[in-house]
């Protein structure tokens, strides 16, 4: 069927922005058709998690402004309460009530044109108190503040500033003459410059036309508002609008629907006045566009109670997840802050090559959960091995004791280890393995009496983990060394190798390393690097000759060579270990990540008899490390099952198949505007972008049914080896669709 509505719907779904004329035509469309289409947009494009906030009227009445709808204006005789800025006790009570009700967001709303500088400072104190005592996210609505004042609030912990435009720029002067739309927009832009999120909407039913409402929505769209409160005028006795005719419920729903077409991704927020809508209309509004609400007390009109609200939202079919609210308030996720954390998705289970979200959506996994889940998720062989192990022994200390799982896993590891690596030291995570390898290198040099060789060299662009010393050999820029002042030991950084894996060898790479060693060898215990693939910092694939050069130079200068195979081990690059591309062995090697097929954390350091025995000959005759959970039997059982599974399957063929699919799926991006490079090696595909994508790209991946996590300018796919061709096709197609949200013609 071709109608105005279905045409507008498909354009919105394909990312097009509708014009004013489109919206005017939509307004007159048959109601049910319009609502159905708005429901589709809401399901497909709008935020899925329902979002509640609450507000406290933090200063009331005596307002100098003449907003004709408002009970707080001193120009009108209403019975609105009058009080100055609330005190800390009152603020904390309100915030605690909010938190106890499971509402994640809390806003201070004050009357008046703007707070005075002094009141802003007092409000900042209230905000600090609330952030100290609770974990609610704090918003403020305090009038036409200046950028410095907004910064003060931001620094106190405010995340979002609210300032309603109230009406279209044309209509606003008819309902308020004491300030202008321009004043409001200036405030919103100042808040954005101050680093705050924005929230702005309006009041409908003040006598404006549908065209006015559309203009309000378009003005909000131009401002890129993520949160748009929609108030329904509640005519208040004593105000000039006291006898305004009530808006029909259908008009209200049409407004919500048309706003949804114009602001497909925004939170449309139920705000004031909704208490007088029928149950039926509230339910419908929730379906066709409303994805958030102010719960509880609403300024001077009484809103509905929180529990009733939650019940309605659930009845409307929304997943209202208190777990997500708790998570956001209390659980700190990696590489994000606590003030405005990157949103997280709730996972219900993992299955095959898919991550299944709590809301039922299924995402094809392009991350292997950070390189780990080589065989996909939930493999029977791994589960069975762990079940069996847990029945006999989940853990026992490794000091003075040993067990079959540790021995059996050791045998499997040595089977594929580079020649000469004979000793295995188990540890609990990748970073800890790196720490252990670095400690071993220093102990080795000390044992030989080379007491100045306590430092390390490493190429730039590396990644070796997040503990202290592991972090010190990460790339100083992407590893954010500046955040740690002089707490991190300084390392010797060689330039990152420039010779591409698939390009010509550039002897400059060796010369640069030689120069570094010549200048500093007497202080260097070891040279540590990720063989072939510089992973989590750059996703750069370099020439195998660099590893051979490193081996030659380390031998020449008495420096130990450490290969960090934590990411590359177990087949990822098409070889069991990436060092096989160069055909040489290191003195120490770290493994982790895929070792247990992603079932549990476990890592190990492999080394030569020379290194191990040299350390052991000198006092204290031991490698000075001993993790509590060393060689954890349950983790070892998972490791055994994973490595046996690898042996049983033709993983080389699988990796080659994944490689071919990644090439098919990603090569078309080469040369596109915004794409710097496309690299595929084994089961690892990388698209280097000109500029770093933002959160919207992650969201676009999810919308396309794909789980991928770009970092910096790097978008990449690390699929499980067992992903089928059909799944790989969908994965790369979804990946390209996500990159389209970043403006790549993919
Ligand atoms: C992930 C990673 C580490 C750190 O491992 P964790 O288990 O996260 O501590 C170290 N080195 C490399 C190369 C890695 O990719």
Q: How far apart (Å, rounded) are the C-alpha atoms in residues 687 and 676?
A: 8
The atom of ligand 1 lying closest to the CA of 601 is 7
Query: Atom 12 in ligand 1: which residue has the minimum CA distance?
Result: 464
Residues in the chain: 746
Contact present, 651 and 682 (Cβ < 8 Å): no
- H or E segment and range at residue 541: strand 540-541
Contact present, 385 and 638 (Cβ < 8 Å): yes
Distance 709 CA to ligand 1 centre (A): 16
CA distances in angstroms from 510 to 516, 523, 552, listed in the order given: 10, 19, 10
Distance 430 CA to ligand 1 centre (A): 4
Q: Which of 463, 542, 576, 716 is catalytic?
A: 463
Among this protein's residues, is 444 annotated catalytic? no
> DSSP secondary structure string, 84-146?
-S--HHHHHHHHHHHHHTT--EEEEEE-SSB--HHHHHHHHHHHHHHHHH--PEEEEE-BS--
Query: Atom 11 in ligand 1: which residue has the minimum CA distance?
Result: 464
Among this protein's residues, is 426 annotated catalytic? no
Which residues of the chain have a pLDDT value below 70? 1-2, 296-304
Distance 565 CA to ligand 1 centre (A): 9
Contact present, 744 and 675 (Cβ < 8 Å): yes
Q: How far apart (Å, rounded) are the C-alpha atoms in residues 374 and 684?
A: 12
Longest dimension (CA), the chain: 95
Distance 363 CA to ligand 1 centre (A): 24
Q: How far apart (Å, rounded) are the C-alpha atoms in residues 196 and 162?
A: 10
Q: Which of 89, 335, 504, 648 is catalytic?
A: 335
Phi, psi (degrees; rounded to nearest 5) at 542:
-115, 175
Alpha helices in 331-379 (DSSP H): 368-371
Q: What predicted TM-score, i.e. pTM, was given to this entire model?
A: 0.85
The atom of ligand 1 lying closest to the CA of 370 is 1
Distance 465 CA to ligand 1 centre (A): 5
Secondary structure class of 471 (helix, strand, coil): helix
Contact present, 451 and 419 (Cβ < 8 Å): no
Which has the closest alpha carbon to 256: 295, 279, 222, 228? 228
Question: What pLDDT is attached to residue 303?
Answer: 46
Query: Atom 15 in ligand 1: which residue has the minimum CA distance?
Result: 567
Other CB atoms within 10 A of residue 398 CB: 18
Secondary structure class of 374 (helix, strand, coil): coil
Secondary structure class of 302 (helix, strand, coil): coil
Cβ of 530 below 6 Å from ligand 1 = yes
The atom of ligand 1 lying closest to the CA of 429 is 7
Phi, psi (degrees; rounded to nearest 5) at 414:
-65, -30
Question: What pLDDT is attached to residue 245?
Answer: 86
Which has the closest alpha carbon to 612: 723, 466, 463, 447? 447
Distance 424 CA to ligand 1 centre (A): 18
Cβ of 463 below 6 Å from ligand 1 = yes
Contact present, 329 and 309 (Cβ < 8 Å): no
Distance 431 CA to ligand 1 centre (A): 5
The atom of ligand 1 lying closest to the CA of 434 is 10
Q: How far apart (Å, rounded) are the C-alpha atoms in residues 547 and 503?
A: 15
Cβ of 430 below 6 Å from ligand 1 = yes
Contact present, 456 and 526 (Cβ < 8 Å): yes
Question: What pLDDT is attached to residue 296?
Answer: 61
Other CB atoms within 10 A of residue 68 CB: 18
Cβ of 464 below 6 Å from ligand 1 = yes
The atom of ligand 1 lying closest to the CA of 432 is 9
Other CB atoms within 10 A of residue 461 CB: 23
Question: What pLDDT is attached to residue 481?
Answer: 92
Question: What pLDDT is attached to residue 47?
Answer: 83
Pocket test for ligand 1, best of 436, 592, 709 (most atoms within 8 A of CB): 592
Pocket test for ligand 1, best of 564, 566, 711 (most atoms within 8 A of CB): 566
User: Where in 271-334 does DSSP place strands (E)?
Assistant: 290-295
Cβ of 215 below 6 Å from ligand 1 = no
DSSP character for 310? Answer: H
Cβ of 431 below 6 Å from ligand 1 = yes
Instruction: Compute CA 17 distance to the chain's CA centroid, rounded to the nearest angstrom.
Output: 26
Contact present, 140 and 153 (Cβ < 8 Å): yes
**HSE value, Cβ hemisphere, 13 Å, CA-based, for 406:** 21
Among this protein's residues, is 365 annotated catalytic? no
Secondary structure class of 540 (helix, strand, coil): strand
Query: Atom 5 in ligand 1: which residue has the minimum CA distance?
Result: 430
Q: Which of 212, 428, 509, 564 is catalytic?
A: 564
The atom of ligand 1 lying closest to the CA of 462 is 13
Q: How far apart (Å, rounded) are the C-alpha atoms in residues 346 and 306?
A: 23
Other CB atoms within 10 A of residue 174 CB: 14
Distance 621 CA to ligand 1 centre (A): 28
Which has the closest alpha carbon to 464: 560, 366, 568? 568
Distance 432 CA to ligand 1 centre (A): 9
Q: Which of 577, 593, 654, 716 is catalytic?
A: 593
Phi, psi (degrees; rounded to nearest 5) at 337:
-85, -175
Cβ of 564 below 6 Å from ligand 1 = yes
- The token pair at 74 is 């001193």
Q: How far apart (Å, rounded) are the C-alpha atoms in residues 330 and 315?
A: 27
pLDDT per residue as tens digits for the range 590-632:
999 999 999 999 999 999 999 999 999 999 999 999 999 999 9
């Amino acid at each position: 069927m071709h109608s105005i509505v279905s045409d507008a719907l498909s354009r919105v779904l394909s990312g097009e922005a509708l014009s004013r004329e489109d919206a005017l035509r939509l307004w007159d469309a048959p109601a049910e058709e319009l609502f159905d289409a708005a429901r589709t947009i809401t399901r497909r494009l709008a935020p899925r998690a329902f979002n509640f906030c609450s507000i406290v009227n933090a200063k009331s009445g005596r307002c100098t402004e003449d907003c004709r709808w408002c009970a707080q204006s001193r120009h009108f005789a209403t019975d609105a309460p009058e009080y100055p800025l609330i005190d800390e006790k009152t603020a904390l009570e309100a915030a605690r009530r909010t938190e106890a009700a499971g509402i994640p967001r809390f806003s201070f709303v004050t009357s008046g044109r703007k707070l005075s500088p002094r009141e802003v400072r007092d409000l900042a104190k209230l905000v600090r108190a609330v952030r100290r005592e609770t974990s609610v996210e704090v918003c403020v609505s305090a009038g036409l503040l200046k950028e410095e004042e907004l910064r003060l609030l931001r620094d106190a912990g405010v995340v979002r500033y609210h300032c309603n435009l109230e009406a279209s720029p044309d209509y606003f002067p008819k309902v308020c003459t004491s300030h202008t739309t321009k004043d409001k927009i200036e405030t919103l832009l100042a808040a954005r410059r101050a680093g705050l999120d924005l929230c702005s909407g309006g009041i409908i039913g003040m006598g404006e036309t549908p065209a006015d409402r559309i203009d309000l929505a378009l003005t909000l769209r131009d401002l890129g508002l993520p949160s748009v409160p929609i108030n329904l005028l509640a005519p208040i006795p004593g105000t000039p609008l006291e006898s305004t005719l009530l808006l029909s419920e259908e008009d209200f729903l049409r407004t919500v629907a048309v706003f949804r077409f114009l602001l497909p991704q925004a939170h449309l927020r139920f705000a004031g006045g909704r208490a007088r809508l029928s149950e039926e209309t509230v339910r419908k509004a929730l379906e066709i566009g409303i994805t958030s609400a102010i719960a509880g007390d609403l300024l001077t009109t009484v809103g509905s109670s929180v529990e009733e609200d939650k019940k309605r939202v659930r009845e409307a079919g929304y997943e209202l997840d208190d777990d997500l609210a708790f998570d956001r308030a209390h659980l700190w996720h990696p590489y994000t802050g606590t003030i405005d954390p990157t949103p997280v998705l709730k996972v219900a289970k993992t299955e095959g090559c898919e991550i299944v979200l709590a809301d039922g959506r299924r995402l094809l996994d392009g991350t292997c959960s950070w390189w780990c889940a080589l065989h996909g998720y939930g493999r029977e062989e791994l589960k069975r091995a762990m079940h069996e192990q847990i029945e006999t022994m989940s853990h026992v200390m490794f000091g003075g004791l040993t067990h079959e799982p540790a021995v059996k896993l050791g045998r499997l590891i040595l089977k594929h280890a580079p020649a000469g690596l004979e000793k295995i030291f188990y540890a609990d995570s990748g970073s800890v393995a790196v720490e252990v390898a670095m400690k071993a290198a220093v102990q080795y040099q000390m044992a030989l009496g080379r007491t100045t060789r306590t430092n390390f060299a490493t190429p730039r662009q590396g990644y070796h983990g997040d503990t202290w010393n592991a972090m010190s050999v990460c790339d100083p820029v992407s590893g954010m060394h500046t955040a740690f002042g002089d707490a991190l030991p300084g390392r010797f950084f060689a330039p990152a190798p420039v010779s591409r894996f698939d390009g010509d060898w550039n002897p400059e790479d060796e010369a640069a390393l030689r120069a570094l060693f010549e200048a500093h060898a007497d202080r260097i215990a070891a040279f540590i690097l990720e063989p072939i693939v510089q992973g989590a910092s750059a996703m750069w694939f370099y020439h195998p000759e660099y590893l051979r050069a490193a081996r030659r130079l380390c031998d020449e200068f008495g420096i130990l060579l450490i290969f960090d195979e934590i990411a590359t081990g177990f087949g990822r690059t098409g070889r069991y270990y990436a060092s096989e591309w160069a055909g040489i062995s290191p003195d120490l090697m770290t493994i982790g990540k895929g070792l247990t097929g992603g079932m549990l954390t476990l890592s190990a350091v492999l080394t030569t008899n020379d290194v191990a025995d040299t350390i052991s000959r000198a006092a204290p005759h031991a490698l000075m490390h001993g993790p509590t959970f060393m060689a954890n039997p349950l983790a070892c059982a998972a490791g055994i099952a994973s490595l046996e599974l690898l042996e049983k399957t033709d993983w080389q063929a699988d990796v080659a198949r994944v490689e071919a699919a990644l090439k098919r799926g990603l090569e078309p991006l080469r040369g596109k505007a915004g794409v710097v490079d496309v690299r595929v090696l084994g089961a690892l595909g990388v698209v280097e972008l000109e500029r770093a994508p933002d959160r919207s790209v992650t969201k676009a991946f999810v919308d396309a049914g794909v789980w991928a996590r770009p970092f910096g300018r790097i978008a990449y796919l690390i699929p499980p080896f067992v992903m089928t061709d059909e799944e790989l096709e969908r994965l790369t197609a979804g990946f390209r669709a996500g990159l389209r949200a970043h403006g790549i013609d993919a």
